[in-house]
């Protein structure tokens, strides 16, 4: 399956690569596995709305394949300016603007869309020319522990006070334990109630001190990989 991004700003094209005589790929937008009664994939699909598409290969002389699913999310507000702490050397020439370009959401750290950090903490500062009402922030993170990439230990959300210009912590939460986890694109979703009205936010991520003991590279520094920062003035996940 090929698609440029899991984040929709206008549309995303989804292409299925399949060639098995006597079998066809069926798909559905419903919350169930596809059946032979569902539409047959023939040409690339143009996805314009958030949701999940499920695909399954079915043929008379074959056992049905496993169901493959892909989810798409709304991209959120465009951020006027975005800065980060220093990424690892390999990623230092990658613009911070890629964290808000609505491109990515693929669980492969070599895709060219991820920015990697292997420091004790990572910060992202997002600012706008005018104050914004913020109700939800979704942060795209990669979990791929075989590649030393872990979810942050803790995430803090700060806002810039409109009167004093000082940074004030608004929300914080622990994210990851040291237990094993799946390889995945992890969308950390945070709601703000009451809503935030500010011209700038800062996201601070605290890294694990060391890779845990169960890992073959225990004691080494863990990595944090970030793809997309999605800021919204409405609750996407609460409407699902």
Core vs surface per residue 109-118: b (16+ CB within 10 A) or e? beeebbbbbb
- CB 115 within 8 Å of CB 99: yes
Per CATH, the architecture of 81-239 is what?
Sandwich (2.60)
- CA dist 89 and 94 (Å) reads 10
Segments of the chain assigned to CATH 2.60.120.1190: 81-239
pLDDT in the model for residue 240: 53
Does CATH place domain 2-74 in 2.60.40? yes
Which residue, among 50, 67, 155, 176, has the nearest Cα to 105 in the 3D structure? 50
- CB 33 within 8 Å of CB 44: no
Segments of the chain assigned to CATH 2.60.40: 2-74
Alpha-carbon torsion 132, 137, 139, 140, what sign? negative
- The vertex-106 CA angle with 44 and 4, nearest 5°, equals 35
pLDDT in the model for residue 185: 87
pTM of the model: 0.81
Backbone angles phi, psi at 239, to 5 degrees: -90, -5
The DSSP-derived string for 111-172 is SS--EEE-SSEEEEEEEEEEEEEEEEEEEEEEEBGGGTB---SEEEEEEE-TTT--EEEEEE
- CA dist 228 and 11 (Å) reads 17
| Segments of the chain with pLDDT less than 50 | none
Report how far Cα 216 is from the mean position of its chain's Cα atoms: 26
User: Residue 171, SS3?
Assistant: strand
pLDDT in the model for residue 206: 96
Q: What share of the chain is helix, strand, coil (3-state, %, to 5)?
A: 5, 50, 45
Rg, Å, the chain Cα set: 20
pLDDT in the model for residue 5: 87
Residue pLDDT, tens place only, 143-181? 999 999 999 999 999 999 999 999 999 999 998 777 788
């Amino acid at each position: 399956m090929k698609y440029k991004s899991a984040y929709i700003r206008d549309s995303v094209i989804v292409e299925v690569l399949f060639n098995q005589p006597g079998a066809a790929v069926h798909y559905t937008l419903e919350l169930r596995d596809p059946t032979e009664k569902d539409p047959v994939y023939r040409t690339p699909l143009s996805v314009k709305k958030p949701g999940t598409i499920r695909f399954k290969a079915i043929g008379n002389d074959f056992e049905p394949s496993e169901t493959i699913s892909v989810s798409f999310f709304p991209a959120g507000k465009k951020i006027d300016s975005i800065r980060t702490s220093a990424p690892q050397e390999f990623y230092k020439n990658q613009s911070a603007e890629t964290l808000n370009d609505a491109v990515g959401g693929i669980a492969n750290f070599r895709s060219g869309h991820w920015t990697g950090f292997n420091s004790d903490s990572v910060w992202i500062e997002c600012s706008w020319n005018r104050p914004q009402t913020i109700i939800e922030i979704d942060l795209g993170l990669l979990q791929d522990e075989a590649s030393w990439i872990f979810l942050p230990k803790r995430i803090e959300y700060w806002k810039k006070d409109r009167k004093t210009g000082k940074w004030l912590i608004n929300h914080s939460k622990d994210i990851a334990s040291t237990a094993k986890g799946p390889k995945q694109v992890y969308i950390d979703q945070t709601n703000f109630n009451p809503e935030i009205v500010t011209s700038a936010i800062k996201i601070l991520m605290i890294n694990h001190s060391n890779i845990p003991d169960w890992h073959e590279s225990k004691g080494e520094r863990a990595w944090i990989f970030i793809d997309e920062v999605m800021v919204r003035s409405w609750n996407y996940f609460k409407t699902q």
